[in-house]
Amino acid sequence: MRLAVLPFANLSGDPEQEYVGDGLTQGLIAQLGRLHPAGLNVIARSSVMRYKNGDTPVDEIGRALGVAFVLAGSARRAADRVHVAAELVDARDQTQLWAATYEREPAGMPALEAEVAVEVARRLGVELTPEEQRRLTGAHRVEPRVYEAYLRGTYHVSQNTPESFAKGIALLHEAVAIDPAEPLAYVGLAEGYITLGHGGAEQADAFQRARAAAEQALKLDPDRAEAVAILADVALYHEWDWAKAERLFRRAFELNSSLSMTRYHYAWYLALFDRLDEAIAEHQLARDLDPLRALNTGWLGGLYVYAGRFDDAIVEARKALELSQTFGPSYQVLRLAYSRKGMHPEAIAAARRYVELNPSAGGVQLVTAYALAGRRDEALKVLSTLDTSAARPTPVALMYVALGDTDAALRWLEACYEAHRATLPWIRTHGNGLEPLRDEPRFQELLRKMNLPP
């Protein structure tokens, strides 16, 4: 059974109140994701937010997201009260299955989210387990100033600009300072810092801060699926503790099976150990839970490249570009697949498009495409203009392999190890194109240092 929580409309008329409806939307997605993990899949925030302030018919939304049911509504903050209207609709025939209105103090919103989740589950015929009942009925009141700072903080973090991110993190720290015993703020901080850790700079300090915040959230609430998921992420990309990562991923899915980004990261954990069939299935589930996010579709194509399914990779990369023309890695996947198929003009064209979006990452792909096409002089000309300092480990190594410079590839990977670059372990994955390096003692030594099998 699949459900989407559409963005709750802001009826206040004040753009500064957008965070109220957005926070309620995210809270309901989280609460519903915790219910009956084996039988209820809830679409991720990034896909449903495409329908914010829109007038797309419910049946059309249902088809686009692949869901049978939609929860929608509105929220309005007035003084010290929040007015909420909610309705559950069958997206197939637009029949209203349930509707209700609520009025609460801001401190009571987490409990309201749990109350709505229970009602939705009942209307959908989802039988709650005793553990799910315990978690929902245990929803507590939050100190109003903490909840306000948490909502504003997570809203600003989600806006994806350096200025808004800094403002959001400051607000979440403010929430922690007001009430250090409230797990909500720690979860928000952990999610913010893990986003920073996956940014271009791959800041080690961000992973450490994410871990500290997530651990504190779990001390206060051991069943916080989002906090467990963040610790799994840290174990995978920062600690390189493979057994710990898999254990935490599995625990996160026990608590909430609808964590799409966690499914995405788990897919790449599986790929790291050449469990490609499992990885592809997991990645497909991530895509199904967040179908309008280009990352989930584009990088599924990346797994298809590793599996030697180049035509499937091209199909997925093109689908991702239909979702977002600015998602540059789609062009990287196209370049990889076209090069492997010997379609060098198409590979070069894809790399050139990537350069338009990201001169550094795209430039690495263009050098590689030229080199594999036998156009070495053009490859070297582009290389002479590149700054690869922020580039990912594997693409740059592939570039040097294409140029026939094994020593440069190994020196680059050794430098990435010294810098503890988060994605370095994936040099191990078979099918990634680094086969010419695999038998090199220096390459095998890197794998040993990362506790990876040959």
For the segment 45-73, what is each residue's pLDDT rounded down to a tens digit?
999 999 998 889 999 999 999 999 999 99
Q: What is the CA radius of gyration of the chain?
A: 23
Which residue bears the tokens 């059974």?
A: 1
d(C-alpha 264, C-alpha 370), whole Å: 31
pLDDT band at residue 79 using 50, 70 and 90 as cut-offs: confident
Q: How far apart are CA 384 and CA 83, in angstroms?
A: 60
Q: What is the mean pLDDT of residues 192-202?
A: 78
Residues of the chain with CATH 3.40.50.10610: 2-141
Within 10 Å of residue 93's Cβ, how many Cβ atoms?
Answer: 9
Q: What percent of the chain has pLDDT over 70?
A: 97
Q: What φ, ψ does residue 111 adopt, rounded to 5°?
A: -70, -35
- CA distances in angstroms from 430 to 114, 205, 407, 413, 420, listed in the order given: 45, 30, 20, 16, 21
Torsion of CA 297, 302, 307, 313, to 10 degrees: 60
Q: Which amino acid is at 195?
A: T
Return mean pLDDT, the chain: 93
Secondary structure letter of residue 238 according to DSSP: I
Phi, psi of 102 (to 5 degrees): -140, 155
**CA–CA distance from 195 to each of 199, 209, 395, 434 (Å)?**
7, 11, 22, 28
How much of the chain, in percent, has pLDDT values that exceed 90?
A: 80
Q: What is the pLDDT of residue 128?
A: 80
Encoded tokens for 453: 């099998």
Contacts of 445 (CB under 8 A, 6+ apart): none
Q: What gap in Å lies between CA 415 and CA 420, rounded to an integer?
A: 9
Outline which parts of the chain fall under CATH 1.25.40.10: 162-255, 262-449
Task: Report the b/e string of 141-176 with b at 16+ CB within 10 A.
Answer: ebbeebbbbbbbbbbbbbeeeeeebebbbebbbbbb
> Structurally, what CATH architecture does the domain formed by 2-141 represent?
3-Layer(aba) Sandwich (3.40)
Element (H, E) at 341: none
Classify domain 162-255 at the CATH class level.
mainly alpha
Q: Is the dihedral of CA 308, 311, 315, 317 positive or negative?
A: positive
What local confidence, expressed as pLDDT, does residue 99 receive?
A: 98
Q: What is the pLDDT of residue 130?
A: 81
Residue 134, pLDDT > 70, answer: yes
Query: Is residue 359 scored above 80 in pLDDT?
Result: yes
Q: Is the pLDDT of residue 410 over 70?
A: yes
Residue 201 has pLDDT above 60, yes or no: no
**Chain segment 287-338, per-residue pLDDT in tens:** 999 999 999 999 999 999 999 999 999 999 999 999 999 999 999 999 999 9
Q: Which comes out higher in pLDDT, residue 345 or 17?
A: 345
β-pairing verdict for 95-104 and 2-5: unpaired
Q: What is the pLDDT of residue 132?
A: 77
Q: What would you measure as the largest C-alpha separation in the chain, in angstroms?
A: 69
Q: Which helix (H) or strand (E) holds 3?
A: strand 2-5
Q: Does 19 score more than 60 pLDDT?
A: yes
pLDDT one-digit tens code per residue, 97-121 = 999 999 998 888 888 999 999 999 9
pLDDT of residue 160: 77
pTM over 0.75: yes
The architecture that CATH gives domain 262-449 is Alpha Horseshoe (1.25)
Q: Give 46's DSSP letter.
A: H
State how far the Cα of 225 lies from the Cα of 254, in Å rounded to an integer: 8
